[in-house]
């Protein structure tokens, strides 16, 4: 049997999808390959799983500022993969950031549709979100009502939660028999200096004045949810109760607090994004008989070391005893840092073309040249 090279990259953001990266690498290598585009739960997750055999399902849903948009999720059998960035991502903002009013409602609409279509497992990829609404919008789309003291339903967005008085879930979607898994590499709690508002709010356009507004609003959400629904003990991990309940659970702060709503209202389980998705895509089977794994992403940098796809691939390949190299647009990690992460070498487009603008514009052809060099060195 001829040994193959397993090509398992993430996307090159702004240039190529993960499937396109895999195709160009395979073309440049010129040897038998198996292409397995991967993702870590963030932007591009639906594209990656569709390339691996899932079916794309498109729906009109509510965008982060309330406008109707077309978004999609993926399904195979009774498993659905919903990517928050599809419906509620920063890339869906038509006119710039809306940190106080952006909503996760569209993500909830995708989850609801998947359940109506018979999904028994919903994998919710969190990353690239535009909102800091604690997942209230997602919960609203699934039937929860977030009410002020007068009994009026709150408008979209995180800031409005400061007026939250009670939560009515009498009309909530029936989740009996449905497993919800949050695929995320973020372990931040909902509140505090490491929480959703403080850490991720500025990435979504929140100013120094906006951050405390959002922090107070999310704190109100946590307090009301705990008081009215007894959520303080609703989610426990490894049989160890968390002193702050759901709000203090690792991952509650993911995607502007959508992690909190997933834990509190969907009773989700949090899994490291890349590890869970590699299992879902059958990485363990595809790596059998491989002589090399080629992974990569647009930028190999410090963020890559925090649970991003290439590192997850390298760790999974190491367990199978297969060496790993990476391709990327650019890299800032040293050889020693790469080796410590399980990557023997990295090949960057900027090694061929120092102009980053041209690198992004001509990423496909450059990647094929880079893969040919990799093959000459390693195969």
pLDDT above 90 for 235: no
CA distance 371 to 379: 11
Helical segments of the chain, H only: 18-29, 45-51, 84-88, 105-116, 136-141, 210-229, 254-265, 273-280, 283-286, 309-319, 335-340, 356-361, 363-378
pLDDT at 236 over 70: no
Output phi, psi for 7, to 5 deg: -105, 105
Report, as an integer, the average pLDDT of 240-264.
82
pLDDT tens string 293-314:
999 999 999 888 877 899 999 9
Tell me the average pLDDT of the chain.
92
* Cβ atoms 37, 8 nearer than 8 A: yes
Q: For each of the domains in the chain, give its residue range(s) and CATH number, in order of start.
A: 4-38+289-378 (3.40.50.10350), 45-274 (3.90.1510.10)
Note the pLDDT of residue 348.
Answer: 96
- pLDDT tens digits for range 315-340: 999 999 999 999 999 999 999 999 99
Both tokens assigned to 281: 């895509």
Q: 0.85 exceeded by the pTM?
A: yes
Predicted local confidence at residue 92, as pLDDT: 92
Angle of the 273-280 helix axis to the 309-319 helix axis, nearest 10: 60
Residue whose C-alpha is closest to residue 8's, from 287, 374, 331, 344: 287
Confidence of residue 94 (pLDDT cuts 50, 70, 90): confident
pLDDT reading at 229 higher than 70: no
pLDDT score of 238: 39
pLDDT tens-digit map of 101-156: 999 999 999 999 999 999 999 999 998 899 999 999 999 999 999 999 999 999 99
9 closest CA partner among 266, 197, 283: 283
| Tokens 């408008």, residue located | 155
Instruction: Please state, in angstroms and as integers, the Cα–Cα distance from residue 336 to each residue in 93, 315, 328, following that order.
Output: 39, 16, 17
Distance CA 240, CA 256 (A): 25
Tens digit of each residue's pLDDT (9 = 90 or more) over 276-288: 999 999 999 999 9
| Pairing mode of beta strands 68-76, 55-62 | antiparallel
Q: How confident is the model at residue 237 (pLDDT cuts 50, 70, 90)?
A: very low
Calpha distance 290→144 (Å, rounded): 48
**Per-residue pLDDT, 273:** 87
Which tens digit of pLDDT belongs to each residue from 165-217? 999 999 999 999 999 999 988 889 999 999 999 999 999 999 999 999 999 99
The phi, psi pair for 298, rounded to 5°, reads: -60, -45
């Amino acid at each position: 049997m001829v040994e193959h090279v397993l090509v398992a990259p993430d996307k090159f953001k702004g240039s190529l999808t993960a499937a396109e990266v895999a195709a160009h690498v395979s073309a440049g290598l010129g040897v038998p390959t198996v292409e397995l585009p991967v993702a870590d739960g963030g932007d591009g997750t639906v594209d990656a799983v569709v390339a691996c055999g899932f079916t794309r399902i498109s729906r009109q849903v509510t965008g982060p500022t309330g406008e109707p948009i077309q978004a999609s999720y993926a399904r195979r059998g009774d498993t659905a993969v919903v990517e928050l960035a599809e419906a509620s991502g920063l890339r869906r903002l038509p006119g710039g950031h809306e940190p106080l009013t952006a909503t996760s409602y569209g993500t909830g609409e995708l989850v609801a549709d998947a359940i109506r279509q018979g999904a028994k497992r919903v994998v919710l990829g969190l990353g690239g979100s535009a909102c800091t609404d604690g997942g209230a919008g997602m919960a609203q789309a699934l039937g929860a009502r977030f009410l002020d003291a007068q009994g009026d339903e709150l408008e979209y967005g995180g800031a409005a939660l400061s007026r939250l008085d009670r939560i009515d879930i009498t009309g909530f979607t029936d989740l009996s028999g449905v497993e919800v898994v949050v695929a995320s590499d973020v372990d931040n709690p909902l509140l505090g200096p490491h929480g959703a508002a403080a850490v991720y709010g500025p990435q979504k356009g929140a100013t120094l004045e906006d951050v405390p507004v959002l922090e107070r609003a999310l704190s109100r959400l946590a307090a009301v949810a705990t008081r009215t629904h007894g959520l303080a003990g609703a989610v426990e991990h490894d049989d160890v109760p968390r002193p702050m309940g759901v709000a203090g659970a690792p991952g509650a702060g993911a995607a502007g607090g959508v992690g909190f709503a997933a834990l509190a209202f969907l009773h989700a389980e949090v899994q490291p994004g890349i590890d869970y998705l590699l299992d879902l895509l059958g990485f363990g089977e595809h790596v059998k008989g491989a002589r090399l794994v080629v992974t990569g992403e647009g930028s190999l940098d410090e963020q890559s070391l925090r649970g991003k796809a290439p590192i997850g691939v390298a760790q999974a390949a190491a367990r199978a005893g297969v060496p790993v190299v990476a391709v990327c647009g650019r890299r800032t990690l040293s050889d020693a840092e790469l080796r410590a992460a399980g990557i023997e070498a990295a090949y960057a487009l900027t090694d061929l073309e120092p102009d980053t603008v041209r690198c992004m514009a001509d990423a496909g052809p450059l990647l094929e040249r880079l893969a040919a060099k990799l093959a000459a060195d390693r195969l």
